[in-house]
Amino acid sequence: MPPGFALPALPATVPTEAYVVLSAVLFAIGTLGVLLRKNALTIFMSIELMLNAVNVAFVAFARQFGQFDGQIFVFFVMAVAAAEVAVGLGIIVDIFRSRRTVDIDDVSWLRG
Amino acid sequence: MDQFPLLSTLIFLPLIGAVVALFFPRGNELWLRVWALFVSVVVFLFSVPLWFSFDAAEVGFQFVEVLPWVPEVGIDYRVGVDGISLLLVLLTTFLMPIVILSTWNSIEQRVKEFVSVALLLETAMIGTFLALDLFLFFIFWELMLVPMYFLIGVWGGPRRIYAAVKFFLYTMAGSALMLVAMMALYFLTSVPTASGHTFNLLEILRIPVPSDLQVWLFAAFAIAFAIKVPMFPFHTWLPDAHVEAPTSGSVILAAVLLKMGTYGFLRFCLPLFPQAVVAAVPLIALLSVIGIVYGALVAAMQRDVKKLVAYSSVSHLGLVMLGIFALTPIALQGSLLQMVNHGISTGALFLLVGMLYERAHTRIIDDFGGVAKLMPVFAAFFLLVMFSSVGLPGTNGFVGEFLILLGTFEAAALNLQIYAVVAASGVILGAVYLLWTYQRVMQGPVREHVGTNGHGLRLTDINAREIAVLVPLAIIILWIGFYPKPFLDRTAASLNAVGQRVAAESGRPVLAGPR
Amino acid sequence: MLWLVPALPLLGSVVSLFFGRRLPKALAGTIASGAVLGAFVVALLAVLEFVAGDTTHPFQQHLFPWIAWGEGRAQVLVAEAGLLLDPLSSVMVLVVTGVGFLIHLYSMGYMAHDPSYPRFFTYLNLFAFSMLVLVLANNFLFMFVGWELVGLCSYLLIGFWFTRPSAASAGKKAFVVNRVGDWGFLVALLLIWTTFGTFQFFADPAVATTGGVLDDPGRVIRDGSLALAIALLLFVGAVGKSAQVPLYVWLPDAMEGPTPVSALIHAATMVTAGIYMVARVHTLYELAPASLAVVATIGALTAIFAASIGLVQTDIKRVLAYSTVSQLGYMFLALGAGAFAAGIFHLMTHAFFKALLFLGAGSVIHALSDEQDLRRMGGLFSPLKVTALTFLAGWLAIIGFPGFSGFFSKDLILAKTLERGLEDPWYLVLYAVALLTVAMTAFYMSRLVFLAFFGRHRGADEGLMPAEARAVPEHEPAAAAGAVATHQRASPVVHASHNSRAADREAHGAHGAHGSTPHESPWIMLIALIVLALLSIGGGWVGIPPFMVGAAGHESPFEAFLAPSVAAHGAAEAHGALEATMEWVATGASVVMAGIGVAIAAALYLAGTPSPADFARRFRQPYLWLLNKWYVDELYQALIAHPGARLAAFLAAFDLGVVDGAVNGIARLSRGTGAALRSVQSGYVRGYAVTMLIGAFAILAFWAFRG
Amino acid sequence: MPFELPELNWWAIAPVLAITLTGSLVMVVDLFTQRRRGQGHLAVISLAGLAVTAALSLLLWNADEEAAFGGMIIVDRFAQFFNLLFVFVVAVVVLMSQEQLDREDFHPGEYYSLLLFSVAGMMLMAAAGDLIMVFLGIELLSIPLYILTGFSRRRIESEEASIKYLLLGAFATGFLLYGIALVYGTTASTNLGCVAQTLGTRSALATDLCAVPALTAVTLPAMLLTGMGLLIVGLGFKAALAPFHMWTPDVYEGAPTSLTAFMSVASKAAAFAAILRVFLIAFPTLVADWGFMLAIIAVITMVVGNTVALLQQNIKRLLAYSSIAHAGYILVAVVAANELGLLAVLFYTVAYALMNLGAFAIVILLGRRGEENLLLGDYAGLGYRQPVLGALMTIFMLSLAGIPPTAGFVGKFYIFTAAVQADQVLLAVIGLLASVISAYYYLRVVYLMYMVEPARAYAAPARAPWVSLAAGLAAAGVLVLGIFPSQILEIAQASVRFLG
């Protein structure tokens, strides 16, 4: 992007650091959700949370740099996340059909 | 290269033979055996000109063949022979027909596979001795493991898999270190080609390896070779491998494969890392002497004849190692000759044990008695081979052992006298365990029906084929015993050069004292 | 031409090996004997030619470079195959081929019924070859070849009836004990090489080589201790080969071999190799006088020690074996006294009479259907006239009956020792020991003769066993138990004679039982006996000292002949010889001592007063010690064999447990690591996620705390 | 806010387009063709499309190196090398799948098209010039694989593998993305060249488009390092580096065998292509940081892969752990970070592709409908029951163990030579010793085949000419590369100077 075409700088009411901290907290919550929940759907949601934490960070950085790049990235992430969810839900449904459960700990036949 | 590619013929003829053997239809065991014998004899005949055309006065490599192979990284197909490898190559080609003939009746299962594996092994062995490119050497060196692994694992005894895997992994572990050292050497070279570096041994010999690096590289090479030799305390794979291997495997293992280690010391360690070699002399000499005595003592306690011979190899090769690291021309000559001797004698011992085993289906010493009465011809050969192994004058063993002791004792600058004296006592111990074995197996009251669980096998004397297997070995034993000069002549120049090189580059007087 | 001397027996051996079984027995034996006879004739011619010329320079024949490489000036010659003829080797070669031939001849009769007849002659010819290489070699290493090969032949021949465990054991023992000695020889060789840079005995003017070792070694050796080391190490070899204390133990056991072998190898030739070798290298010994004292001391010690054991042995061959050890001790005493010629002289006469005695014993054994126990003999004089008469000649020779060969040679040794004693009092002690041994020798030989040939034939009649045999089972259960125990280890004690008996029976099994009547041996054996008897009587006449015949000078013709080879350069020449009267006194002393020995034996075994049994009872402890040969075998077992076996067993366990255990331990470690890591792979997704998270934190933490 | 679209050079992504179109075509054709008439034509279409893709890649081989799509896509020989490799691998996998499709009643249209879409993702990864493209490539690679992993409806393991792969993959994606975000936050760009320039390296990829950073690495190294660490997690997951490898054994075991072969070879190669691009272009100044870290990871990976493999009884699981170990070896070459190292990575991915595909082909050949014969014990006596299969398997196992004269040996040789050149001698020693351990379990397969009698009788395997062809090709390739490595080396050598 040629210089000079940057976004108009807004008054910095909230510092970037705060957004980054927020995203880190969200990411941590998402991570913990993955680790602590047994329900496959909940885990999925936690992963979505992690991805959205990333989005927050991207937007914040993009805003700070006055760039589009980070914001564009967010769209990619959202699109990909949607695709992942679609596939994931399909698989989970499949699992539920065959095992009558979505408890991820019950899906532990393969090991060693 | 306008001359006939003799060395490549030696290397690849067995390989072709092996591949052809794979295409023999099943059920043609006899023809397969004949084919294998034919191929190995032809290979031997091709190797005979080496003996005669070899220029004993020439220090460098002869019959050299070079082909670019992987020029991108400076790897050539480069083979050649000098005084160090000549005898070992001939030993290999000489023994292979004997080994194949010896298996005529003992290998009944999977003959096709056996023939292929044996011939493939011959390719790898000859290639190892002839390679003048480190990469090529390593290829053959590792390639050797595979057929040997099969030989032990397929046709071996009850614990064959354990033995085969142990052999394979132990040797491979050693060569892993060697490979790294080779790479380091590679980067020390500098040649004006695209690759900038080369694995060409002749180039590598030209570079001065920095002294601090020498120690490490030497250690890496030395461990690889010490395992192969095998030197105390890296020897424990050997008894297992020997006991489980079929006769042919034991013979090849003892006669040729173990020589790879000592050959490696002569070919690589001594010329490449002279300072490290001189620094390592006390350690190696100590381990060698321990090996000599230790091997002999442990051998004396074995109940299985093969295991006994295996430990005797540890003892004998300890002596060879001592000779190599005495660094005097006489000791080096003795060591190389003793490598051949050990190949002949121990190979013959294994053949004899195999013949006995074929008849009795046991190798436990206590199962036998008075065999000499039932098998007088066998006993005569056994006696000859045994005394060759003991190092009795008039047999090959004496010449080699004595030269080693003499050369070691002479190495006054390295303070090896005491080692030579202790090693000489190994000579006595060698007599003890072998004679004791002979007494228990061949002498004493006749046990006509030897075998396990009253199996009751009548021992019959060896037949014409078996005599044909043994006679060439007996001839060599006596030939080297009484007239070793032709052998020593051919090795002298190359070994002398190695000795001189070590002396010159280590900056220490390692040659003989006043004379 | 000289090369033919060893070559003929070698050829004979090869022929016997390959064709012996296909040839008729008589022809096979004839070929073998003929080969040795041929060697004798050639040797005789060669010696005559040599004697006709200048004997001060040895004649050398260079056969081929043996351990050598390179050509021309660049040649490195470690050792050549070369022969040497000088007065010393002349004597040896004639003794070896001469006595050897006679024993071959004898063997044709003795072994006639053995199924392994060709094998026997293969070995015997091979032995002749080896021994000839030993005595004719012109350098140390080639001599060592012969040295070892005779050991091999000894091994083979002792264990000739290898199906007997005792024979197999004895063969092995002989070889192993010899190897201990060879170790000394070997190390001496190493020292010689580093000191002199050559193994040649003498420089050969015909070939431009550097000086030999023995051409005035003092020019190279400045350090007396080096000479001492070489001399003593060589002596270790000699001690082994010539069965001296402490390595003599193999020789009595070696009697397990066929009797002609005992005669040839373990009496006449091989065991004298040590004497020959010391005489050969005497210049080295003279550089270190202390070494000569050691040689003399060991010799004297062995002489009396072996004689003491011989006093009470009951196996006819064993008595002779200990006698041989004792006589070899005499020879070493001579060498140690600097009287090298005397040693060689006794070597020669001993070869005659000891071979005769052994062969005579063999004839007796043969006649008695393989009976070797003296206690079952007696009264054999009349049935075995020829054997007995020749045996008596040997007896007189060994006890030093004036005029017989042994008299002159033994006397010379005693005189020379006394001579030395005038300068060095230690030698007076040795002289006394030797003199005492004379009496003991006379005693046990006379005992043997009286028990075997005189009195009445006792045969299997146990009741008439001589007292000493009864003493063991009846009054000494403890000793008997000990003896039995050793027997079970296939170790040699009294009872071994039963085994031997079985053995020789096997040898003669083919011609069936002889019955109980002793019968004379076939003529072919008797010829050998007669010739040897003549030699035992007259063989010493070449060495009649000048004072006895009133001639001038101090050297007998034999000494004069040997002088170029063994003339002492140092000590022995320095002092004057004994006065003639002194010589007579010395001679008289030894004769008197011998007479005492004979008299005691006669009293005990001819007259029976006092009875041997009472005698044994009175001196019970000494008697038991002697009977059990001072328990030396047991001592060696306890001190060397058992600890050695225990060490080996320990090392074998160590090898399996520790050395190999470490290798397998590495394998186990890999597997264990794998198993531990595998347990993490639990199958639970959330666990995997935790691991990933830990990994991520570890990366960050590493960077954070790296500092 | 004017927004200038960058110049779109469609030619630069021609292979990706071709393969994507092929995938779409397969799907469409599948819609219009009768079920159960065999799926041969779909395979033919796929292979034809792959041929076109390969041709386009070859055309690009000699094209000028450039960065297209505003620096998103790099057109260089490195990319084309991987394109060709992927095409080759997927072609072989198509051959190998013939048996599997039939045996497991796969839906061929979806199968092929998903396979091809996945390859498109790989190609984008290998050509990525931007972290966004790396991310997109990974996702495009992964999502079809999630589906394919669960394709074996008959086997319950398959869906388990699928869900595990999906969850962990998405989890790892989170880390990757957060890493990208932090790098972006430090350097104000996701373009590899720009990142490099910001961090102080001149990069051919850096353009005037690169923003002047507000925050620099100098002021915030912690954030940058954290970002880089998370990138290692994300990429390491794809490459199956320990401790991010946990999914591998389960997924490899559960997935259909042909797909396992594909994953183990192709997605690993793609991951390493991306790792090389990212770390060598963007972070050369931080080599001291990531080099040592990757070295440690390499050691852990080799140890984990090799030691756990010692205990495996299932051949697929064994090969899974083996693939982990091999990722460790390749990482050694990455750590070397020199030209020889790159060469080694390229060569090794080819060699590994050949030998692993071959091994899996044998695994497929040994199975029958309803009887997969996946236990190691099922290999007992194979060398005599099926001499050719046994011989081929032996070649693959020896090659995997790195025994000459096979491609596996030459590959390892280059890897460790590169390490030695980079003074990573200890790493080379550890790697070689690890490969000694590996020899144990590879040899175990060999001795089962030749030295152990089978415990039960086995029916002759079904005739599967295409799979056999694949195995034969792979074996030939393994030997040719092992004995005459020169050709491939030349090509690889031409490919190692990537634009960056």
- In the prediction, which pLDDT does A100 show? 87
- A1: in domain: no
Provide the pLDDT confidence category of residue A9 given band limits of 50, 70 and 90.
low
Residue A3 counted as domain residue:
no
Q: What is the mean pLDDT of chain C?
A: 83
Closest CA to B482 of C563, C64, C282: C64
User: Lowest-confidence range among B88-102, C423-437, C487-501?
Assistant: C487-501
pLDDT for A95 beyond 70: yes
Total domains in chain D come to 1
Residue C493 has pLDDT above 50, yes or no: no
3-state secondary structure of C58: coil
For residue C469, pLDDT over 70 is answered with no
Give the CA-trace dihedral at B138, B140, B146, B149, to 10 degrees: -90
Distance from CA of A61 to the nearest CA of C (A): 22
Residue B446, pLDDT above cutoff 90: no
Interface test with A, best of D69, D177, D311 (most A CBs within 10 A): D177
Q: Per the omega criterion (within 30 degrees of 0), is the bond before D405 cis?
A: yes
Q: How far is C297 from chain B (nearest CA, A)?
A: 26
Task: Enumerate residues 6+ apart whose C-beta is below 8 A from D497.
Answer: D76, D77, D78, D339
* H or E element, residue D47: helix D40-61
Cis omega (within 30 of 0) for bond into B230: yes
In total, chain A counts a number of residues equal to 112
Mean pLDDT, rounded, for B319-333? 92
Percent pLDDT > 90 in chain C is 34
The pLDDT of residue A15? 83
Residue A29 pLDDT: 94
Closest of C170, C179, C122, C132 to residue C151, by C-alpha: C179
CB contacts, 8 Å: D437 with chain C: 670
Quick one: tokens of C290? 């202390």
Report how far residue B238's alpha carbon sits from residue B170's, in angstroms, rounded to the nearest whole number. Answer: 10
Q: Do A88 and D157 make contact, defined as CB atoms within 8 angstroms?
A: no
> What are the residues facing C85 on neighbouring strands?
C59
How far lies C298's CA from each of B151, C326, C430, C699, D77, in Å? 57, 11, 10, 80, 91
The distance of C660 to chain D (nearest Cα, Å) reads: 18
Centroid of chain to Cα C396: 23
Distance, CA of D393 to CA of D383 (rounded, Å): 9
Q: Which residues of chain D neighbour C694 with C-beta distances below 8 Å?
A: 243
Q: What is the pLDDT of residue B500?
A: 87
Name the pLDDT band for D211 (thresholds 50, 70, 90): low
CB contact under 8 A, C700 and D246: no
Average pLDDT value for residue range D110-126: 94
CB-CB under 8 Å, D132 with A73: yes
Question: What confidence score (pLDDT) does residue C485 get?
Answer: 36
Q: What is the DSSP string of B332-367?
A: HHHHHHHHHHHHHHHHHHHHHHHHHHHHHS--BGGG
Picking from C65, C149, C182, the nearest residue to B394 by CB comes out as: C149
For chain C, list the contacting chains (3+ Cβ pairs, <8 Å): A, B, D
Q: Select the residue of A35, A109, A110 nearest C686 (Cβ to Cβ).
A: A35
Cβ–Cβ below 8 Å for D177 and A77: yes
Lowest average pLDDT, out of B27-31, B220-224, B452-456, C299-303, goes to: B452-456
Q: What is the pLDDT of residue C324?
A: 92
> D59: Cβ–Cβ under 8 A, 6 or more apart, which residues?
D14
Question: Does some domain include residue A27?
Answer: yes
Q: What is the residue-wise DSSP string for B39-85?
A: HHHHHHHHHHHHHHH--TT--S-EEEEEEEEEGGGTEEEEEEE-HHH
Q: How far apart are CA D80 and CA D73, in angstroms?
A: 12
Separation between Cα atoms, residue B198 and residue B175, nearest integer Å: 19
Least CB–CB distance from C692: residue in D233, D249, D303: D233
B/A touch flag: 3 or more CB pairs below 8 Å: no
The average pLDDT across D56-63 equals: 89
Joined tokens for residue B185? 């050497």
Phi, then psi, of C66 in degrees rounded to 5? -95, -75
- Residues in chain A closer than 8 A to C686 (CB atoms): 34-36, 38, 43, 104-105
* Segment D246-290, tens digit of pLDDT: 999 999 999 999 999 999 999 999 999 999 999 998 888 888 889
pLDDT at residue C421 is higher than 90 = no
Residue D265 domain flag? no
| C-beta separation of C197 from C210 below 8 A | yes
Residue D469 falls inside a structural domain: yes
Q: Which residue has the tokens 């000569």?
A: C292
CB pairs under 8 A between A and C: 30
pLDDT at residue B57 above 70?
yes
Query: How far apart are the C-alpha atoms of B217 and B274, rounded to whole Å?
Result: 11
User: Quick check: C307 pLDDT over 50?
Assistant: yes
- Whether chain D has a CB inside 8 Å of the CB on A95: the answer is yes
Q: How far is B187 from chain D (nearest CA, A)?
A: 7
Contact C352, C390 (CB under 8 A): no
For residue C346, which amino acid is it? H
User: Does the residue D473 lie in any domain?
Assistant: yes
* Rounded-to-integer distance, Cα B111 and Cα C368, Å: 61
Helix (H, G, I), strand (E, B) or coil at A39: strand
- Residues C273, C239 contacting (CB under 8 angstroms): no
CA-nearest residue to C699 within chain D is D229
**Three-state DSSP class for D130?**
strand
Q: How many CA atoms lie within 13 A of D135 on its CB side?
A: 30
Q: Is D373 on the interface with B (CB under 8 A)?
A: no
Output the CA angle D337-D341-D342, nearest 5 degrees: 90
Task: Measure the CA–CA gap between D401 and D395, rounded to whole angstroms.
Answer: 10
The pLDDT, as a whole number, for residue C491 is: 34
Q: How far off is chain A from D142, nearest CA to CA, in Å?
A: 9
- Band of residue C477 on the pLDDT scale cut at 50, 70, 90: very low
Express each pLDDT in B7-44 by its tens digit: 999 999 999 999 999 888 877 888 999 999 999 999 99
What's the average model confidence in pLDDT over D335-351? Answer: 92
pLDDT digits over B109-118, tens only? Answer: 888 889 999 9
Whether the per-residue pLDDT at D136 is higher than 90: the answer is yes
Distance CA D129, CA D190 (A): 9
- The 8-class DSSP code of residue C83 comes to E
Q: How far is C687 from chain A (nearest CA, A)?
A: 8
- Is the pLDDT at A87 greater than 50? The verdict is yes
Residues of C in contact with A35 (CB under 8 A): 686, 689-690, 693
Residues 6 or more apart whose Cβ sits within 8 Å of residue D147: A87, A90, A91, D110, D114, D162
Q: Which candidate, C154, D173, C338, C490, places its Cα nearest to that of B444? A: C490
C416 and C338 Cβ atoms separated by less than 8 Å:
yes
Quick check: B169 contacting D, CB < 8 Å? Answer: yes
Give me the CATH number covering residue A83.
1.10.287.3510
Over range C631-647, report the average pLDDT.
87
Task: Tell me: pLDDT of D152 over 80.
Answer: yes
Does any CB of chain B come closer than 8 Å to the CB of residue D425? yes
C500 secondary structure, DSSP code: H
pLDDT at residue D410, as a whole number: 93
Neighbours of C153 (CB within 10 A): 25
- Phi and psi for C469 in degrees, rounded to 5? -70, -40
Does A74 contact chain D (CB < 8 Å)?
no
Taking the C-alpha atoms of residue B246 and residue B260, their distance in angstroms, rounded to an integer, is 20
Contact D413 B179 (CB under 8 A): yes
Pairing type for strands D66-68 and D73-75 reads antiparallel
Q: Above 50 in pLDDT, residue B461?
A: yes
CA distance D85 to D268: 12
CB pair distance less than 8 Å for B329 and C165: no
| pLDDT higher than 90, residue D327 | yes
Q: What is the mean pLDDT of residues D197-217?
A: 66
* Under 8 Å between Cβ of C145 and C131: no
pLDDT tens-digit readout, C9-50: 999 999 988 888 888 888 888 999 999 999 999 999 999 999
Residue C318: both structure tokens together: 């064993």
Query: H or E element: which one contains D121?
Result: helix D108-127
The pLDDT score that the predictor gives to residue D186 is: 85
Q: Which among C681, C694, C702 has CB closest to D293?
A: C702
Least confident range from C255-264, C351-360, C542-551: namely C542-551
pLDDT attached to residue D37:
56
Provide the greatest CA pair distance for chain B: 73
Q: pLDDT tier at A12 (50, 70, 90 boundaries)? A: low
Per residue in C516-556, pLDDT tens? 567 788 888 888 899 999 999 988 888 888 878 777 777 78
Residue C632: pLDDT band with limits 50, 70, 90: confident
pLDDT at B232 over 70: yes
Residue B9, both tokens: 């013929």
Task: Report pLDDT for C470.
Answer: 39
CA distance A45 to chain C (A): 15
**Smallest Cα–Cα separation from B101: which of B280, B347, B275?**
B347
Check pLDDT > 90 for residue D12: no
A7 in any annotated domain: no
Residue C673 has pLDDT above 80, yes or no: yes
DSSP annotation of C59 reads E
- pLDDT at residue D217 tops 80: no
Compute the C-alpha angle D151/D153/D159, nearest 5°.
70
**Chain centre to alpha carbon of residue C279:** 16
User: What range does the domain containing A98 cover?
Assistant: 16-103
Distance from CA of C148 to the nearest CA of B (A): 6
Write out the two tokens for D103.
């045996």
- Calculate the average pLDDT of chain D: 89
How much is the pLDDT for C437?
92
Residue-by-residue DSSP string for D339-357: HHHHHHHHHHHHHHHHHHH
Of A93, A100, A85, A7, residue with least CA distance to A51 = A85
pLDDT exceeds 60 at position D416: yes
Q: Where are the alpha helices (DSSP H) in D150-220?
A: 156-187, 192-198
Whole-number average pLDDT of chain A: 85
Q: What is the pLDDT of residues B201-228, one digit of tens each?
A: 999 998 888 988 999 999 999 999 999 9
pLDDT score of C479 more than 80: no
Contacts of B157 in chain D (CB under 8 A): none
Q: Which domain holds residue D480?
A: 283-500
Q: Is A38 on the interface with C (CB under 8 A)?
A: yes
Which residue intervals of D219-338 are DSSP H helices? 221-239, 247-254, 257-262, 268-276, 287-309, 315-336
Chosen from D159, D175, D224, D226 to mutate, greatest number of chain A CBs within 10 A: D159
Looking at residue D128, the DSSP 8-state letter turns out to be B
Which string of DSSP letters, residue by residue, matches C382-397?
TTTHHHHHHHHHHHHH
CA D234/CA B461 separation, integer angstroms = 73
Mean per-residue pLDDT, C79-83: 90
Question: Residue B515: pLDDT band by 50, 70, 90 thresholds?
Answer: very low
What mean pLDDT comes out for the span B321-349?
93
Tell me if D409 and B71 make a contact (CB, 8 A cut-off): no
pLDDT score, position D249: 94
CB C359 within 8 A of CB C525: yes
B288-309: average pLDDT: 92
Domain count along chain A: 1
Please report whether residue D187 resides in a domain: no
pLDDT at B488: 93
Name which residue leads in pLDDT, C543 or D21: D21
SS3 B457: strand
What is d(CA D128, CA A79) in angstroms, rounded to the nearest whole number?
Answer: 19
Which of C208-212, C687-691, D368-372 has the least mean pLDDT?
C208-212
User: Is residue D481 within 8 Å of residue D354, measured between CB atoms?
Assistant: yes
Residue C577: per-residue pLDDT = 60
The alpha-carbon gap from C651 to the nearest alpha carbon of chain A, in Å, equals 41
Mean pLDDT of chain B: 89
**Is 50 exceeded by the pLDDT of residue C452?**
yes
- b/e map A41-68, b = 16+ CB within 10 Å: eebbebbbbbbbbbbbbbbbbbbbbbbe
ipTM of the complex: 0.90
In this predicted structure, which of B50-59, C218-227, C384-393 has the lowest mean pLDDT?
C218-227
Is A50 inside a domain boundary? yes
The closest CB to that of C69, out of B233, B489, B514, belongs to B489
Q: State the chains in contact with D (3 or more Cβ–Cβ pairs under 8 Å).
A: A, B, C
